[in-house]
Structure 1
Amino acid sequence: MTARLADPLENPGPLAGIRVVEMGQLIAGPFCGQLLGDMGAEIIKIEPPATEGNKGGDPMRDWGRGDFPLWWEVVARNKKAVTANLRIPEGQALARKLIATADILIENFRPGTLEKWGMSPESLHEINPGLIIVRVSGYGQSGPYSDRAGFGGIGEAMGGWRAIVGDPDRPPSRMGVSIGDSLAATYGCLGALAALRHRDKTGEGQVVDSALYEAVLQVMESLVPEYAASGYVRERSGSVLPGIAPSNVYPCKDGEYLIGANQNTVFSRLCDAMGRPELASDERYSSHVARGRHQVELDELIADWTRTLTIDELEALMIKHGVPAGKLYRPQDMLDDPHFQAREAIVEIPHERWGTLKMQNVFPKLSKTPGTIRRAAPATLGQDNFAVYRDALGLSDSEISDLQTRGVI
Structure 2
Amino acid sequence: MKRVEEMPRVPAPALIPSFGPLAGMRVLSTGSIVAMPHAANMLADFGAEVIHVERPKVGDTYRTLAPFVRDGEKCVSASWAQDARNRLSLTLEVNLKIPEAREIFLGLVKNSDIWFENLVWLEKFGITDEMCLEVNPQLVIVHVSGFGRPQFGGIPEICDRGSYDMIGQAASSWMSLMGFPEPNPPSMAKPWSNDYISAMFAVFGALIAYVHAQKTGEGQVIDVAQYEANARILSDTFVSYLEAGILRQRTGNKSPAFQPYDVFRAKDRWVALGAFGPAVYERFIKALGLDPNYYTWKECASSVEAVASEKGQELDRLTREWIGARTAKEVEEHMAKYKVPCSVVCDARDAAENPHWQARENFIEYEDQTLGRKIKALGVIPKLSKTPGKVWRGAPSVGQDTEAILSKILGYSKAEIDAFREKGII
TM-score norm. by structure 1 comes to: 0.92
User: Helix, strand or coil: the match of 1:30?
Assistant: helix
Contact 1:85 1:92 in 2 (8 A): no
Cα pair 2:368 2:393 within 8 Å, conserved: no
Q: Kindly indicate whether residue 50 of structure 2 is the aligned counterpart of residue 29 of structure 1.
A: no
Q: Deviations over 1:132-170 (max 9, x none)?
A: 011001111122121122222221111110111111131
SS at match of 2:300: coil
Matched, 1:293 2:308: yes
Question: Deviation string for 1:327-354 (max 9, x for gaps)?
Answer: 1111111111121122222222233517
Q: How far apart, CA to CA, are the structure 1 residues paired with 2:187 and 2:165?
A: 14
8 A contact 1:92–1:117 mirrored in 2: no
Aligned equivalent of 1:304: 321
2:180 alignment counterpart: 167
Structure-2 residue corresponding to 1:362: 380
Matches within 5 A, 1:174-213: 174-213=188-227
Q: 2:235 aligns with which of 221, 240, 261?
A: 221
Cα deviation per residue 1:299-335 (whole Å; 9 max; x = unaligned)? 3220011111112221221111111101111111111
Alignment of 1:375 onto 2:375: no
1:335 alignment partner in structure 2? 352
Alignment correspondent of 2:62: 60
- Aligned partner (choices 244, 269, 272) of residue 286 of structure 2: 272
Q: Is contact 1:243-1:293 (8 Å) kept?
A: no
Q: Kindly provide the amino acid, as one letter, of the partner of residue 365 in structure 1.
A: K
Matches within 5 A, 1:389-404: 389-404=406-421
Is 2:260–2:301's contact at 8 Å kept on the other side of the alignment?
no
Contact 1:263 1:288 in 2 (8 A): no
Give the C-alpha shift of residue 291 in structure 1: 4.0
The 1:300/1:8 distance shift into structure 2, 3 A limit, reads: farther
Residues 5-31 of structure 1, C-alpha deviation per residue, up to 9 Å, x if partnerless? xx975x701111111110021111111
Cα distance change, pair 397–315 in 1 and its aligned pair in 2 (3 A): same
1: distance between equivalents of 2:317 and 2:295?
Answer: 16
Shift of 1:287: 3.8
Distance (whole Å) between structure 2 residues aligned to residue 198 and residue 283 of structure 1: 49
Structure 2 unaligned runs (5+)?
Answer: 1-14, 71-75
Q: Provide the rounded CA distance (Å) in 1 between the counterparts of 2:177 and 2:329.
A: 32
- SS of corresponding position for 1:33: helix
1:120 to 124, 128, 139: 128
- Residues in 2 aligned to 1:71 and 1:318: alpha-carbon distance in whole angstroms: 35
**1:291, 1:298 within 8 Å by CA — same for their partners in 2?**
no
The residue that corresponds to 2:169 in the other structure is 156
How far off is 1:282 after superposition?
7.6
- CA apart distance, 1:383: 0.6
CA contact (8 A) 1:283 1:290 kept: no
Instruction: Name 1:12's counterpart in structure 2.
Output: 19
Q: What's the counterpart of residue 7 of structure 2?
A: none
Name which of structure 1's ranges 237-246 and 156-165 shifts more when overlaid on structure 2.
237-246
1:227-271 deviation line (CA, Å, top 9, x unaligned): 112211011111112213110111211111111113211111111
CA distance in structure 2 between the partners assigned to 1:119 and 1:311 by the alignment: 55
* Alpha-carbon distance change, 195 to 298 in structure 1, aligned in 2, over 3 angstroms: same
- CA distance in 1 between partners of 2:62 and 2:47 (Å): 22
Cα distance between partner residues in 1 of 2:160 and 2:297: 57
Please say if residues 266 and 323 of structure 1, whose CA atoms lie closer than 8 Å, have aligned partners that are also in contact: yes
Q: Is the contact between residue 368 and residue 374 of structure 2 (CA under 8 Å) also seen in structure 1? A: yes
| Aligned-pair CA distance for 1:273 | 1.3
- Offset from partner CA, 1:180-214 (integer Å, 9 cap, x none): 11111110110000011101110011111000010
SS at structure 1 position matched to 2:77: coil
The counterpart of 1:78, out of the listed 86, 106, 119, is: 86
Q: Percent of pairs identical after alignment?
A: 36
Counterpart secondary structure, 2:239: helix
Structure 1 residue runs of 5 or longer lacking an equivalent are 1-6, 51-55
| Cα-to-partner distance string for 1:36-55 (whole Å, 9 max, x where unaligned) | 111110000111112xxxxx
Report the 3-state secondary structure (helix = DSSP H, G, I; strand = E; otherwise coil) of the residue aligned with 1:284.
helix
Q: Does 1:45 align with 2:52?
A: yes
Using the alignment, how far apart are the partners of 1:384 and 1:405 within structure 2?
17
Q: Aligned with 1:359: secondary structure?
A: strand
Q: Kindly tell me: are residues 286 and 219 of structure 1, through their superposed partners in 2, closer, same or farther at Cα, counting changes over 3 Å?
A: closer
